[in-house]
Amino acid sequence: MKTKENCGGIDVFRLLAAVLVIAIHTSPLTSFHPEADFFVTRILARVAVPFFFMVSGQFVISDLLFRKDTGGRVLLRYLKKIGLLYGIAILLYLPIGIYAGHYQGVTVYSVIRMLLFDGTFYHLWYFPACAIGTLLIAALSRFLKLPAMTAVVGALYLFGLFGDSYYGLIAHIPVISGAYSAAFRLFSYTRNGLFFAPIFLLLGVWAGSRKQGGARVRGIVGFALSFLAMTVEGFLLHQYDLPRHDSMYLMLIPTMIFLYQLLLHWRVSAPRNARPVAAWIYILHPAMVVVVRGMGKLLHQTELLVENSLIHYVIVTAFSVAAASLLAEGIAHWRKKPFPQGRAWIELDRSALARNVRFLQSRLPEGCSLMPAVKAEAYGHGAVLIAKELNTLGVRAFCVAGAAEGVKLRKGGVKGEILILGYTHPREFDLLRRYRLTQTVVDYDYACEMARYGKKLHVHLGVDTGMHRIGERSENISQICAIFDMPNLIVDGMFTHLSATDTMEPSARAFTGGQADAFRRLADGLKEKGYPIPKIHLQASYGVLNYPELAGDYARVGIALYGLLSTKQDTLRWKDSLAPVLSLKARVVSVRPLHPEESAGYGMAFTAQREMKIAVIAIGYADGLPRSLSNGAGAVLIDGCRAPIIGRVCMDQTIVDVSGISHVRAGDIAVIIGASGNETISAADLAEQSGSITNEILSRLGGRLERMMV
């Protein structure tokens, strides 16, 4: 299933960082205030390149380190990409470099040094630094774990520091300065792939794995303090004339750690193409400096366009952004990737999800956490997308139906406990351990099967209190004790499932009370026998809403988290507290007339009685649109108007009546679930029209739909 992750804050900062790099190379404030320019270019803008390294760390190095199966491929792909960009940039700047006399008196040795460390043009050192830093980390990871690696690359950074901003401190110490002089025959600066890049690449890995909610204030204060300290550090070093170069500061490390956390939690939507545009700004801006200088000469405006440093900076930036955007657009056009909203797709409302989490949490007492059910692709929403979003909202436990679903979440980077609610084949027990999944004990026989496996497994004990689906029967206390006694089973939790919480009718209430009592009796019995009671949970969505008093340590909420309840009536009842997360949309394929007596679709199931206008939309039952909505049972929304479904829903396409809607054209958007203008169709409407429940409608939404968080 295809999902798209949104890293808005990181993506927006890519653009800001690229613009800061331009500042480093053009010194925008020199004409006005040298000290201010020093601050902007030698201190503030110094966060830009480490930021880019951290992004590579988060998105590339993590895969390299933690996905042993695909790590090698990830490394190759990344090196190829970096190599390609570096190659293009080298060719682009070759004429300028030759013209500027950069390559006079080159030797084979100096060419290698340039290619590997210094870069063939002054900003191009970044690319070999990425490659060498990555290779260094790949090599270290063969012997060391992440903390030890971090210590090693931290020591390399310290070495680099004394060849950079702190050079003045060691320049006069005989042996040490000798060592640095030798090193500087290999490379001109220590801010390169050996001493500078690796630490930030690894900090990116840490940042990606430590993303947590609720630390906003600490992040802002931490960033402000460390950046202030870095500013003081920069000015002091400058005052005492210690730097040989000024890329590396001690305080740059905490500054970057805090800054990156803030960016990870910054919820903005980045402009389309932000990633390639930032990369091309980085590559192209020196060429734009040349262009602007040339323009200045040609127009006899050098004084304005070049000598006024601020105007120069603004124009170079504008040119760079324009050139980068055009190029990125051109490349995207040339590569012709599928457009995620080209056919039929799902949009997820991030703020609705957050609201539902807050509301459900508010119905539970302190100490009871949500354990969202993200089985069946999070009820069709996209499991990784939803679970990662929930991670950032502070949710630390999930439940799924099977081992494969759990593995997929882990591979997608989901943190916290993952409980498998159903059966796992003994051949998959190794998976449980490798991916830190918790297994439900389905019954006593299954526990014996798990005991035979021998190695330690984390489990929650399922208890049957009346649903008679899974769990050991609550009255079988001796078997349950035996399960607790199995030496390789670590019983972290114990739960039952309430089967009649969706109505408040007296008989259902009595039945639910009976289930809760049976569960409590079991817990009391275990306590009496001296067994420690693990985490307990009983409620699903309806349990939380109708029986909040039955809260345990967890609540396994599913459908309500997605902003709906199983029936239309219940959904309407809770609509002020719960907001639907999912919208389902599809493109209009074609608009055509249907004359009287003509039929549309398979089997002549619909025949026009009058002159009609019909539209074909690009979604069908293979995407999860129930075939039972055929022939007027269902409708879609186009341009805020209802368009009834006519004829039979096909596998990939559906025909709707748009006679009453003017201006419908191919390429327009039809809303199948969601709002359009003042009209709304809810998944609960579809459920009612097709004789099902929302849970079924949602969980059957097809794998070929693109899912995106908006």
Ligand X SMILES: *Cc1c(COP(=O)(O)O)cnc(C)c1O
User: What is the set of active-site residues?
Assistant: 375, 602
User: Which residues partner with 675 through β-bridges?
Assistant: 680
Contact between 563 and ligand X (CB under 6 A)? Answer: no
Q: What are phi and psi of 638, to 5 degrees?
A: -130, 125
- DSSP one-letter string for 649-689: --SS-EEEE-TT-TT--TTPEEEEEEEETTEEE-HHHHHHH
Q: Is the CB of 204 or the CB of 543 nearer to ligand X? A: 543
SS3 of the chain: helix, strand, coil, percent, to 5:
55, 15, 35
CB atoms within 10 A of CB 429: 20
CB of 421 to ligand X, least distance (A): 5
CB of 426 to ligand X, least distance (A): 21
Among 421, 500, 646, 661, interactor with ligand X by CB under 6 A? 421
CB of 489 to ligand X, least distance (A): 19
For 393, the token pair is 């909202």
With contacts defined by CB under 6 A, name the span among 1-9, 516-524, 555-563, 594-602 that binds ligand X. 555-563
Among all residues, whose Cβ is closest to ligand X? 558
Enumerate residues 632-671 that contact ligand X by CB under 6 A.
none
H-helix segments, 210-308: 216-239, 252-264, 274-298, 302
Contact between 264 and ligand X (CB under 6 A)? Answer: no
CA 276 to chain centre: 18
Which helix (H) or strand (E) element contains residue 91?
A: helix 71-99
Contact between 497 and ligand X (CB under 6 A)? Answer: yes
Let me know: does 419 contact 398? Beta carbons within 8 Å. yes
Among 559, 581, 589, 625, interactor with ligand X by CB under 6 A? 559
Contact between 630 and ligand X (CB under 6 A)? Answer: no
CB of 544 to ligand X, least distance (A): 8
- State the Cα–Cα distance between residues 530 and 339, nearest whole angstrom: 60
Closest CA to 535 of 458, 607, 609, 466: 458
Enumerate residues 670-699 that contact ligand X by CB under 6 A.
695
With contacts defined by CB under 6 A, name the span among 15-23, 74-82, 248-256, 556-564 that binds ligand X. 556-564
Contact between 9 and ligand X (CB under 6 A)? Answer: no
Q: Is the CB of 543 or the CB of 634 nearer to ligand X? A: 543
How many residues lie near ligand X (CB under 6 A)?
Answer: 12
Contact between 41 and ligand X (CB under 6 A)? Answer: no
Closest CA to 499 of 511, 489, 490, 510: 511
Task: Please give the C-alpha separations between residue 399 and each of 269, 283, 429, 555, 560, in angstroms, as whole numbers.
Answer: 29, 46, 17, 10, 15
Q: Show the site string, 67-106: x = touches ligand X by CB under 6 A, - = not.
A: ----------------------------------------
CB of 52 to ligand X, least distance (A): 42
Among 205, 557, 618, 697, interactor with ligand X by CB under 6 A? 557
Among 370, 540, 600, 629, interactor with ligand X by CB under 6 A? 540
Closest CA to 707 of 415, 414, 384: 384
Contact between 460 and ligand X (CB under 6 A)? Answer: no
The set of residues, in sequence order, having a beta carbon less than 8 Å from that of 604 and lying 6+ positions away, is none
Among 285, 408, 460, 556, interactor with ligand X by CB under 6 A? 556
Q: Is the CB of 301 or the CB of 577 nearer to ligand X? A: 577
Among 190, 541, 630, 654, interactor with ligand X by CB under 6 A? 541
Spell out where 456-521 has E strands. Answer: 457-464, 472-473, 489-496
CB of 570 to ligand X, least distance (A): 11
Q: Is 438 helix (H, G, I), strand (E, B) or coil?
A: strand
Q: Is the CB of 421 or the CB of 447 nearer to ligand X? A: 421
Q: Is the CB of 265 or the CB of 473 nearer to ligand X? A: 473
Let me know: does 536 contact 528? Beta carbons within 8 Å. no
Closest CA to 688 of 696, 679, 678, 700: 696
CB of 579 to ligand X, least distance (A): 16
CB of 144 to ligand X, least distance (A): 42
Among 9, 57, 534, 558, interactor with ligand X by CB under 6 A? 558
Residues 201-239 as b or e (16 or more Cβ within 10 Å = b): bbbbbbbbeebeeeeeeebeebbeebbeebbebbeebbe
Contact between 535 and ligand X (CB under 6 A)? Answer: no
Among 131, 373, 500, 618, interactor with ligand X by CB under 6 A? 373
CB of 430 to ligand X, least distance (A): 24
Residues near ligand X (CB under 6 A): 373, 375, 421, 497, 540-541, 556-560, 695
